[in-house]
Amino acid sequence: MTPGGNHRPETFFPELLAPFQALTVTGHIRVALSGGLDSMVLLHLAHQVFGHCANGLSAIHVNHQLQPAAAGFEAASVETCQALGIPLEVVPVRIRAAGSVETSARDARYQVFADRLGPGDVLLMAHHGDDQVETLLFRFLRGTGVRGLGGIPAERPLGEGRLVRPLLGADRELLRRQAQAAGIGWQEDPTNAATDVDRNFLRHRIIPLLSARWPGLGARLAATARACREAQELADLLARSHFEQLADGPHRIRLEGFGELPLSARRNLLQWWLGDSLDRTLSDRELDGLVLAAADAMPEIPVGPFALRRFQGHIYRVTRYPDPVAGDQFLEPGRTIRDGDYTVSLKGEAGSGVSLLLTHRRGGERLRERAGGPSRPLKKWLQERSVPPWERDRLPLVFRRDELVAVGDLWQLPQKEHTTEAGWQLDIRREEGIVCDRK
């Protein structure tokens, strides 16, 4: 661990303490602790201000297990928290191989944080002014729009609490001087020196040149970010107005009115609708494809955790869930099965007379809405309820012997019409991701 200096923990800079002292917190305070310079300084400042707070102060260290140095960062975090008497939770995560490792690690980290924030809780993160400069330049070079050029927000909702970044007004050098003055040790990340990484290239090669030529670069870019945030606020107001005019529920908008908007207003509406999940600007071709595709076409635009789809005169915002379970499974009392975006469980005490099979569409299924009544093709039944085609094969189907007794959360045959066995209940729930007519 890099030594901090003269070990005088009472030496804290007033300009760094001020943002912490200005915080109003009604719940628990958590510090996102990596073990690096920035988060170690953050931890000590939080301890100085909130160390005796009645609501409590703790830290979270997420170990991504992506580099040999990860163990050293974890050990330094544990050692420092023990010395300060701050409870620390270490959370190991595994990053999936597909896609960007950096993006996957970030998503996993923020999910850990969100899961641990209750109402009134605050998560403190150590992003500082130099991070803001890097972010703004990086987004500018990627061709991002006004929303992205608003930069890193000082605070935002996260989970049931909020995320706060009290060091955004400070630069990296000030944090280094604070660490030296207060005797704060930290771990150096060996990957920060690799200039083949875009952000590191900006940090080590480009930003020093720009700062030498234009002193006060951080303040200049911060002013630009403020202007972009104000412009985005106006764009969001316009998007909200268009959405209220065109929305049929939270997950779909009418295509007819959408197609009459100017191209810029269409893009603005969709980007507002997709929110923080959109990390790029939708192209003209994508926007035209939603409006101009043939009447029987169903164009799709994948966007982060969502996809934009078209069906029956509407544009849908669809959550992209894992695939349903493969094969057939018998339901067991007390066991919950995660089936794509559904959970299926058999509650209560089921006797030997109850045998329920979970499966999915293969074609040819028929549905009898009441015992003794006529059966109908399931496909036609789904069409009448305007269930979008991409949803139909994802629906969990439950059979008792050869009788279809449940179709997702859309329909169940009353128990008394297919069994005399009492004391159990079939429960099928769905995460909110799309709206269809549940008649």
Burial of 187: CB neighbours in 10 Å, binned 0-12, 13-18, 19+: buried
With CA atoms as reference, report the closest residue to 340 among 390, 279, 292: 390
Nearest alpha carbon to residue 236 among 177, 186, 276, 294:
276
Beta-carbon count within 10 A of 21 CB: 12
- The reply to whether 35 sits in an annotated binding site is yes
- Under 8 Å between Cβ of 273 and 239: yes
> Is residue 38 annotated as involved in ligand binding?
yes
340 backbone dihedrals φ, ψ, rounded to 5°: 65, -120
Where are the alpha helices (H) located in 319-435, listed in sequence order? Answer: 378-384, 389-392
Inter-residue long-range contacts of 377-380, CB under 8 Å, 24+ positions, other chains counted: 378/404, 378/407
Pair of tokens at residue 225: 């970010």
Report whether 46 contacts 29 (CB < 8 A).
Answer: yes
From the list 105, 113, 103, the residue with the least C-alpha distance to 70 is 105
CA angle 50, 52, 57 (to 5 degrees): 55
- The radius of gyration computed from the CA coordinates of the chain, to the nearest angstrom, equals 27
Q: What is the dihedral of CA 270, 274, 277, 279, to 10 degrees?
A: 10
Residue 188 CA to residue 178 CA, distance in Å, equals 16
Q: Cα(430)–Cα(407) distance, rounded to whole angstroms?
A: 12
Q: Which residue has the tokens 């970030």?
A: 106
Is the separation of the CB atoms in 253 and 171 below 8 Å?
A: no
How many of the other CB atoms lie within 10 Å of CB of 434? 23
Where does residue 237 rank: exposed (0-12), middle (13-18), buried (19+ CB within 10 A)? exposed
Q: How far, in Å, CA of 2 to CA of 175, rounded?
A: 14
Other C-beta atoms within 10 Å of 325: how many?
Answer: 17
List the one residue out of 166, 161, 227, 157 whose CA is nearest residue 23.
166
Cα separation, 173 vs 373, in Å, equals 77
Strand partners, 204: none
Can you say which residues are annotated as belonging to the binding site for ATP?
34-39
Can you say which residues are annotated as belonging to the binding site?
34-39
